[in-house]
Chain A
Amino acid sequence: MGLPDRKAESWRWAELVRAKANFGKQAPANDTLPETDALWLDIPGDKRLFIGGQPVGHQAEMPEIIADLPPHPLADMAAAHAPCGTSIAIAPNHDGGFMQVLHVGTSGTAHGVTRVRLGAHARLILVETLADSGADHWLNLRFDATLAEGAELVRVVRIINGHGLASERAAVQLADNSRFTSLAVVYGEGDARSEVLVCHNGQGSHAQVNGVLLGDNRANLDAMTTISHAVPDTTSTQVWRLVGAGRARVSVSGGVKVARDAQRTDADQSLKALVLNRTAAANLKPELEIFADDVKCAHGCTVGELDKAALFYLQSRGIPRPEAEALLTHAFVADALAVLPEGALIEALDRDTHTWLEARA
């Protein structure tokens, strides 16, 4: 299977030129390891590190992917070519706490697979970070998760990509009364594609799928969601906040599919973009396919600039313009971050946002 074409609607805003350039070039063996200390979030829990797709400090294992997902060009490529991955299984009624997986792209192409299985009423908070070591590369990750009845998964994916392309597709299957919370925080000057597919297969399941894309310079950050409500009485909420600066392009396509039998689905979606310079671009696309008749599907979309009146108000109280812009931008993305429980995780991600804003100020 080859790389997808931008003529296909679901790839129209993706920038895959770095994937083409690195296609088929396997990442070299790790003779020396890049510094990764700063890439971990300061939270407790187990850690797994992959450099150029190879495990560092832990055994290689190849997880079994979910077999019955629709074909996906990049996710299937990851499953076919990843030398190894991470498999996490949490037993029923067990709290897995926090866990972090860090994937660092070096050069060439590195594929990876992460597989999560949560037993009934099990819980896990997983942070996956995709970063680079300063060279052109393509890092491509597949994430598959199955949640049994009443299970709860929080997955935060941070894409801090300065060079090349980082792409990832998360596919999550939800059984009765399970909850999935997804937060993508994507920033950096490289290109990124982040995709989430949620399959509501069990009644009473809920998905919260949020994202923050912060693009500067020539970054092309592209996100796509497909929330598939296949059975009755399921809910989903999506909150995406995109910020474009420099000549960056930030895009999100928010998809909701409601099957004929999925009565009483409640799907809510809010997509907003802030364009900090006239040279940056933002694309927002709500995409709703509804075949049931008793559903609530709200969606809202706005693209705007920083509020000039608010900027002057802050400046008139003594706050210099760059700081005022940072304060307003931070407030703009706060809605999407607020999905996480108070504590170390949200504080750590807040710092990510600050780092990005300070670098721009």
Chain B
Amino acid sequence: MLEVTNLHTTTGGREILKGLSLRVNAGEVHAIMGPNGAGKSTLAHVLAGRPGYEVTAGSATFNGGDLLALDAHERAAAGLFLGFQYPVEIPGVSNLLFLRTALNAQRKLRGEPAVSSTDFMKKVRVEAAALGLDLEMLKRGVNVGFSGGEKKRNEAFQLGMLEPRLALLDETDSGLDIDALRIVSEGINRFRRPDRAVLLITHYQRLLDHVKPDIVHVLAGGRIVKSGGPDLALQLEADGYEGIAA
């Protein structure tokens, strides 16, 4: 589904990713762990098409197409979803207007008909209830007045509503208390299907207790330095990055 080969990127004249390669197949959950400054968030942003990152070498394909040639909104329509580490507050644009605009913009680009208000609201109710989000809250501005945990739940809500093929979740567990972590993890587990994939970027093993990864990677110095099964995360938790990255 996602194939990243020898990716080099710079931002502000500094090279962050230095030959990163990664292959994620449909049905798999990958976790990327790594020390601060290793390039984890950069990888997420580069794949999602955030301006300000320059790809100097390498390639990234998504379902066989050149991902890097697409604009950010085209990547979303192709089925890529970025769950933000710090979701943005947008006063004046309600969550529901935003989501419906996004959903229909994606559908338009894919040549699908727009979703009706009835079908949209039906799905909103189901997804919001599963994540414990109040409908009244969703009528407010995007993430405005939301606590850290509510913002992350809103990311999981959007994931459920937009139904992408690949979820790229950048430190979705940061700022969550134990209950919120469980609720958001359940959202991610509900998303899992044989035709979908998840790439979790995280600092901590605790998210992986709830969402079992198939493969764990260690990202350090702009490259994947080690990959392994779920045990690798436990080993990292016990030994730290230093021993492994060395």
Q: Which positions in A face B, CB cutoff 8 Å?
A: 307-310, 312-321, 323-324, 327-328, 330-332, 334-335
Report whether A319 and B73 are in contact in the complex, using a CB–CB cutoff of 8 Å: yes
Report whether B82 and A316 are in contact in the complex, using a CB–CB cutoff of 8 Å: yes
B103 within 8 A of partner (CB) = yes
Q: Which of A312, A318, A323, A335 contacts B51 (CB 8 A)?
A: A312
| A321-B74 Cα distance, complex, nearest whole Å | 11
Partner-binding segment picked from B8-16, B83-91, B127-135, B234-242: B83-91
Q: Which residues of A contact B71 (CB under 8 A)?
A: 315, 320-321
Report whether B98 and A318 are in contact in the complex, using a CB–CB cutoff of 8 Å: no
Q: Which B residue's beta carbon lies closest to that of A309? A: B88
Q: Which A residue's beta carbon lies closest to that of B82? A: A316
Report whether A318 and B92 are in contact in the complex, using a CB–CB cutoff of 8 Å: no
Q: Which residues of B contact A334 (CB under 8 A)?
A: 92
Q: Which B residue's beta carbon lies closest to that of A332? A: B92
Q: Which of A307, A308, A313, A328 contacts B84 (CB 8 A)?
A: A313
Scoring B residues 35 to 51 as 1 if CB is less than 8 Å from chain A, else 0, what string do you get?
00000000000001111
Report whether B87 and A318 are in contact in the complex, using a CB–CB cutoff of 8 Å: no
Q: Which positions in B face A, CB cutoff 8 Å?
A: 48-51, 71-73, 75-77, 82, 84, 87-93, 97-99, 101-103, 105-106, 109, 141-142, 158, 162
Report whether A316 and B49 are in contact in the complex, using a CB–CB cutoff of 8 Å: yes
Q: Which B residue's beta carbon lies closest to that of A320? A: B73
What are 6 of the A-B contact pairs (CB < 8 Å)? A308-B51, A312-B51, A315-B76, A321-B73, A327-B97, A327-B101
Closest-CB distance, B45 to chain A (whole angstroms): 9
Q: Which residues of B contact A335 (CB under 8 A)?
A: 92
Report whether B91 and A317 are in contact in the complex, using a CB–CB cutoff of 8 Å: no
Closest-CB distance, A356 to chain B (whole angstroms): 16
Q: Which of A313, A318, A319 contacts B88 (CB 8 A)?
A: A313
| A327-B92 Cα distance, complex, nearest whole Å | 9
| A265-B192 Cα distance, complex, nearest whole Å | 61
Q: Which A residue's beta carbon lies closest to that of B102? A: A317
| A335-B93 Cα distance, complex, nearest whole Å | 12
| A332-B91 Cα distance, complex, nearest whole Å | 8
Interface centre among A312, A321, A330 (most CB of B within 10 A): A312
| A348-B106 Cα distance, complex, nearest whole Å | 28
Q: Which of B49, B51, B90, B99 contacts A328 (CB 8 A)?
A: B90
Closest-CB distance, A357 to chain B (whole angstroms): 13
Closest-CB distance, B68 to chain A (whole angstroms): 15
Given contact pairs A312-B72, A313-B142, a sample of 15 additional A-B residue pairs in the complex whose CB atoms are under 8 Å apart: A309-B88, A310-B88, A312-B50, A313-B84, A313-B87, A314-B90, A314-B98, A315-B71, A315-B72, A316-B49, A316-B76, A321-B73, A328-B92, A330-B92, A331-B92
Closest-CB distance, A321 to chain B (whole angstroms): 7
